[in-house]
Amino acid sequence: MKQYDVIIIGAGQAGSPLARKMAKAGKKVAIIEKRLVGGTCVNDGCTPTKTWVASARAAYLAGRCNNLGVHVDGYSIDMPQIKKRKDDIVMHSRSGNQKSLEEDPNIDLLFGEASFSGHKVVAVNLNDGASAEITADMIFINVGLQTVIPDIEGLDSIDYLTSTSILELKTVPQHILVIGGNYIGLEFGQMFRRFGSQITLLERGPRIMSHEDEDVSREVHNFLEEEGIAVFTNTQATKFEKDAHGRIQATLNINGRTEQMEVSHVLVAAGRKPQTQALNLQASGIEVDDKGFIKVDNKLQTNLPGIYALGDVNGGPAFTHIAYNDFTVVWRNLLMNEDLTTEDRPVPYCMFTDPQLGRVGITEEEAKKQGINYRVAVLKMKSVARAVEVGEVRGLMKAIVNADTKEILGVAILAEEGGEIMSVLQMAMQGGITYDRIRYCVFAHPTYSESLNNLFMTLDDK
């Protein structure tokens, strides 16, 4: 059994930078990755999907720029080229990340599947067929999530797509049935609609994006339908069959009535679950919750001293930037003797539909549940000068504020570059800048951020 100072399971957005920091501090590190260095973000998530979002937006602009007096005739979608561009960008990021690990003399990068065989003992079934058993005083688990596959009759017989496998398509599907009305399903649905696919989107609940306020959800629903996406709520797929010609027959329950639909592809985007099953956590005594997420305290340590869980696998917000922040918390605590916790950290995020949704802080529904004396500022994008000038008037700006202290409690910006606009207000929230000060700030003209003046001016009328 080989002794290390540190074992890291998973080379994702927390694991890889942590390996480098620990190695720089003089510790001998083993980092185990069963698939690809970089984790979901680099290989299957942020990086590849945003390259395709960019291509889809170019197609969208080519199709509507007549309104701006620019005429583009006969544009076409070159899916192999779109995929190659994505693959090249992903490979550049992945290879640079992997090279930095392999070239560090204090890091051993092991490709294989890890499982616990005892207290702080990890067995590795290496991808080359060999095996190893290693141990360390500090162990960090960064294995992420995987797609939840719903129990639907016939689903396993139709070669369904996931957010990973869909990225390997080299042709534009004729008709995609998307199961799931949240961020992954909505991004891919709009993207492939713009590539030319017919899209039918199913949401089992009463509205898409159930974690957002109803008015935000409604705005997104509306612009998706405007682009030709069929959105069905209170709807579930109950059965799939494939005919002799490869066509998929879907049986749907739509508000209690049964309908049949023929589609070419099915994308499963109904949620994600932790990849903890293969870790054999019981052998080490690491505690998990009833959904399989590893339990951690506010310093990301498990019930066992010296063993930590970082990123999506610990049940916190499932975002790349949160995984990276987990990394900063543990390395600064362990190597810099700081006393950081995950309590009260902001959780900003973006959904990269077009327009984007940038969100941070609490929603209006959450403010109600907490009994806060709050006020709501809303500004439709059709009233924003910059949006009118560039022809992007879909969406809205919304802020929840404390009526007593004037603090900004939460923000939803559904707009072109909504994430960038949201970040301005996030900085204000973290710096304690109240909405009445932003109302009279001087911003550059004409910018989207300048309209934050007008957003908070709406509160004068109440």
Active site (catalytic) residues: 445
The dihedral built from the CA positions of residue 217, 220, 224 and 225, taken in this order, carries a sign that is positive
Write the CA distances from 340 to 110, 327, 336, 345, integer angstroms. Answer: 30, 11, 10, 10
Question: H or E segment at 60?
Answer: helix 46-64
CB 75 within 8 A of CB 59: yes
Long-range CB contacts (within 8 A, 24+) of 324-329 = 324/13, 324/14, 324/17, 326/14, 326/300, 327/13, 327/14, 327/15, 327/17, 327/18, 327/21, 329/299, 329/300
Is residue 112 exposed (0-12), middle (13-18) or buried (19+ Cβ within 10 Å)? middle
CA distance 158 to 247: 9
Token digits for 274? 């932790």
CA distance 224 to 201: 10
Helices and strands counted in the chain (H then E): 12, 20
* SS3 at position 200: strand
The dihedral built from the CA positions of residue 1, 332, 338 and 297, taken in this order, carries a sign that is negative
